[in-house]
Chain A
Amino acid sequence: MIIFSLQILLISILAGIVGSVLGLGGGIIVTPALTLLFGVSIEHAIGASIISVIATSSGSAIAYIRDRITNLRVGMFLEIATTIGAITGAFIGGIIAPNLLYIIFGLLLIYSAVNMIKKKKGDQQEQIEMHPAAQKLKLQGSYYDKAIKENISYNVGNVYGGFGVMYGAGIISGLLGIGSGSFKVMAMDVFMKLPLKVSTATSNFMMGVTGAASAGVYLLRGDIDPHIAGPVALGVLAGATLGAQIMQRLKSKTIRMLFIPVLVYVAIQMIVQGMGLSK
């Protein structure tokens, strides 16, 4: 019993580090690890992963908010879209078959990876026009980048596009119990043109809030098994605290490069599982 918990704890520390650095919430590692390595049912794995999402978010947000990487205003504003989306998703979830969930999950990740590869080349932050809505909402910001030792000021573009993608991200998160961080990062990075580090930190911040909306539903439905979710929570909290320090010292380009293989790897595993090819 202790060995089982320790193994889950170790995997979860890794999930916390990866999740906090990439803005992904850790569900991306926890869900496949639990189902594929530990034979946990997909329902319980999703329950545990939503806990991991919240743990990544809260663990990393302590440092990201203190160090002003997270853009609180952007986060709070977009949160409206994701929380409504999450409620939508959590209720659709009971209707769709698990196999289909695997495949949807996999395809979504591949889609994110393709988008990331397209963006890999440019690391330089483009100077962009301030969107009028962004002006009104006071979304612009600045942060100190520890990797290049520079203060970075930034504007915010396409607010409506970002808001729309965020609603979709919320649905996915409620549906699959993942933070759908890849979509959140994409909405901020690609649509709203925020710096990558601000996007991942703000994505982490938001995932916890969105996740809380779904987690209440999952907990009361009985999908959160304490024997699994307990070690997951502890491991991910530790990992995320560590990851929040690591991320600030990485170059944006490095973060982007780390992002892509993780997405592709997990995507393929989930699709194979969903089609019933493995086992």
Chain B
Amino acid sequence: MNDKKTDIQDVELAVSRWLRIGVILSAVVILIGLILLFITGTSGYPGNTYPHSLSDIFNGAIELKSYAVITVGLILLILTPVLRVAISIWVFMREGDKLYMGITTIVLLILIVSFVLGKA
């Protein structure tokens, strides 16, 4: 029983730790983007438009266009829950919990499918 408790606690601690890293990283990038926006006073894009294809976003971010940098931060934020699921699979696997490894893998696959469907 004690062993079991430690197992799920391991999962929890690992997920919590990685989540914090993802959250801080995305917040920092969004903040940099907003500061760029205020300093330069321009979004880097004409009128009310903003980039929404992945290549435009990343090219814009490299050129330090403020809207693109913010969007990269938002993408990192969107990825934190996905990361959370991926880390869980890895920890469940390490602990030999096949049932939850399977369940969590299905969740990750559905997430990936939804990204692909959204792009189409």
Contacts and interface: CB of A to CB of B under 8 A. Distances in A.
Judge: A and B partners, yes or no: yes
Contact of B84 (A68, A77, A209, A219): A209
B41 interface: yes
A208 interface: yes
Interface of B: 8-9, 11-13, 15-16, 19-20, 22-23, 26-27, 30-31, 33-34, 37-38, 41, 43, 50, 52-54, 66-68, 70-71, 73-75, 77-82, 84-85, 88, 99-100, 103-104, 106-107, 110-111, 113-115, 117-119
A58 B22 contact: yes
A224 B74 contact: yes
A45 to B, nearest CB: 15
Interface in A256-274: none
Interface string A183-206: 000000000000000000000000
B108 to A, nearest CB: 9
Nearest to B8: A72
Contacts of A224: 52, 71, 74
Nearest to B50: A226
Interface of A: 1-2, 5, 51, 54-55, 57-59, 61-63, 65-66, 68, 70, 72-73, 76-77, 79-80, 83-84, 86-87, 90-91, 137-138, 208-209, 211-222, 224-227, 229-231, 233-234, 237
A66 B16 contact: yes
